[in-house]
Structure 1
């Protein structure tokens, strides 16, 4: 097959916490009028599976491409059954509900799902006083958590962290969390849409839940919650190629890695790779070229580059986020060690299990 960079449909969510920042701050075009909470830039989630919008594969679903060509699309060691990474722009104009996503084991045991949802948030913009609720305070037990959630006194049990533009936080499955208001996020996560939330209303439209539904949701959330997870924000670790490119590894773990590249001039930059790359533009339009294909990535536009392509050329200036399914040794540990980072520093990028520094 003659592969080329894939532009995809982007499912939209108009949840209660959304606003207009994805269009107004990022410059994303083609959005419908009204409140926009999330645009799903690359999605293989059931019910929201993206389709290719142009070229010889136009109309093909991402799911079908993964099933038919898993190694050519994603990488040599991948065998499906779905694209492993979900990426989103999220407008936290209002506060997101206090919620969590199950980890892998809990998702299989309680949700009958193949995997859970670990995620990371890269902060694209935040008001000066923006905060996030992430994880529980030390010493909080399930009884205290349940009482606080019913009282809607989240600060009594949850850690409130300052949110700063350019920082990233890795949020393992099972971590209770929320962010907003005044926050614009790029989220990268496992392909899943499972969650349990603590609010007495529907996230989609604010409709009230019955008391019985609300309490049942809180109890289900507590059953899936890890009381000891306390992730923190990080500025990332710098891996610049040269003075014209500022390359920062924002976060990494066994499920995904996220980098931010800032290219300061119009000198073409060539990058080789052996795995699928998701490029999301968070700056001005820039040029992108692969063998037999060339185009421009518009503001807040995303393209999925299949592994089989092997090389792209980027012409700046550009500010782009790149996410992928990493080989932790060759993509993360080896280059960071070569850049002089210790295991302790490398582990700040995310995964609390220590997978980033494992032998």
Structure 2
């Protein structure tokens, strides 16, 4: 049976985290009980593979779809034989502070077998009035100073705190010390990796009642003490019909667009497109069909889809491979 390409929505995989809550339910997502910190919206990783929820491929895992349709649907850059889907798309509910953490680059010698480094970006969907994040080291902090601060239990003295609001975007290349703090809901686009090294975790117990493992030596090894190129973009002035680039890395290009009426778009044979609906509702239309869309939904648009339109009152985060 021949299946024509269409925008695929996936059944999210919900992950309980000590810092999570129930805020993702505001998007109409069905949450299990507990502290749900992460909704893996589009992913193919040993720790979670999402399955198509719409159309003729419903029930198939992203891994199965990739093997079936290869570069034709995922693009000449998006499909490499034997490799994973290159990105992982999440929604995060930060009901409490996350651990102070850092991610390695792809070439870190102590990466777990088969795992990649992790460069990511955040788009702030919602934030309480006094919300903040940890975003990098203070100027001049070197490995020796950070090592001593960790030993003295004063690591927070070495870190930059940044206030945030809805619409802010943060690029977080591997090697950047960071943490989301309480009262924030985030869309995260990242390398397909689940490797995190915890520098500090507030001496709090995990879901099992025990202190969570820290990874101090690995953290000290992978931190980019001179900075890794982290950037912040305020996106509140994006006008209808405009697409603003909010993150660019070797792994993804991310743009924010505002639609007030209709936007005509098109795919490239080089890459699939990921659409995260950040605000509003409307319709996604293509040659062979249409799909209602609303805030919190995520779609994988095949590289061969061609022309498509977004209609309605929408804020959209669009990602593709560079």
CA distance in 2, matches of 1:6, 1:44: 14
SS in structure 2 at match of 1:316: strand
Cross-structure match for 1:157: 158
Q: What does residue range 110-149 of structure 1 map to in structure 2 within 5 Å?
A: 110-149=111-150
Q: What does residue range 1-359 of structure 1 map to in structure 2 within 5 Å?
A: 1-24=3-26, 27-80=27-80, 81-106=83-108, 109-199=110-200, 205=207, 207-209=209-211, 214=214, 217-229=215-227, 231-235=230-234, 244-265=240-261, 268-274=262-268, 275-326=271-322
SS in structure 2 at match of 1:297: strand
SS in structure 2 at match of 1:112: coil
More helix by share: 1
**1:142/1:269 Cα in 2 relative to 1: closer, same or farther (>3 Å)?**
closer
CA contact (8 A) 2:238 2:258 kept: no
Moved more, 229-238 or 120-129: 229-238
CA contact (8 A) 1:236 1:249 kept: no
CA distance in 2, matches of 1:121, 1:263: 21
CA contact (8 A) 1:23 1:31 kept: yes
Instruction: Calculate the TM-score normalised by the size of structure 2.
Output: 0.89
CA distance in 2, matches of 1:84, 1:56: 23
**1:44/1:308 Cα in 2 relative to 1: closer, same or farther (>3 Å)?**
same
CA distance in 1, matches of 2:90, 2:15: 10
CA deviation after TM superposition for structure 1 residue 97, in Å: 0.5
CA distance in 1, matches of 2:72, 2:158: 46
CA deviation after TM superposition for structure 1 residue 238, in Å: 7.7
SS in structure 1 at match of 2:11: coil
Instruction: Calculate the TM-score normalised by the size of structure 1.
Output: 0.80
Q: Deviations over 1:43-70 (max 9, x none)?
A: 1111301111232212221112223433
CA deviation after TM superposition for structure 1 residue 20, in Å: 2.5
SS in structure 1 at match of 2:51: coil
**1:5/1:202 Cα in 2 relative to 1: closer, same or farther (>3 Å)?**
farther
More strand by share: 2
Cross-structure match for 1:355: none
Q: Deviations over 1:61-96 (max 9, x none)?
A: 111222343312221344322211111111122111
**1:206/1:126 Cα in 2 relative to 1: closer, same or farther (>3 Å)?**
farther
CA deviation after TM superposition for structure 1 residue 10, in Å: 0.9
Q: Deviations over 1:304-335 (max 9, x none)?
A: 11111112121112222211112xxxxxxxxx
SS in structure 1 at match of 2:149: helix
CA deviation after TM superposition for structure 1 residue 239, in Å: 7.8
**1:77/1:251 Cα in 2 relative to 1: closer, same or farther (>3 Å)?**
closer
**1:295/1:41 Cα in 2 relative to 1: closer, same or farther (>3 Å)?**
same
CA distance in 1, matches of 2:171, 2:143: 23
CA deviation after TM superposition for structure 1 residue 277, in Å: 1.2
CA distance in 2, matches of 1:298, 1:123: 17
Unaligned runs of at least 5 residues, structure 2: none
CA distance in 1, matches of 2:192, 2:234: 25
CA distance in 1, matches of 2:116, 2:206: 24
Moved more, 176-185 or 141-150: 141-150
CA distance in 2, matches of 1:203, 1:85: 30
CA contact (8 A) 1:85 1:325 kept: no
**RMSD over equivalenced CA pairs, Å:** 2.4
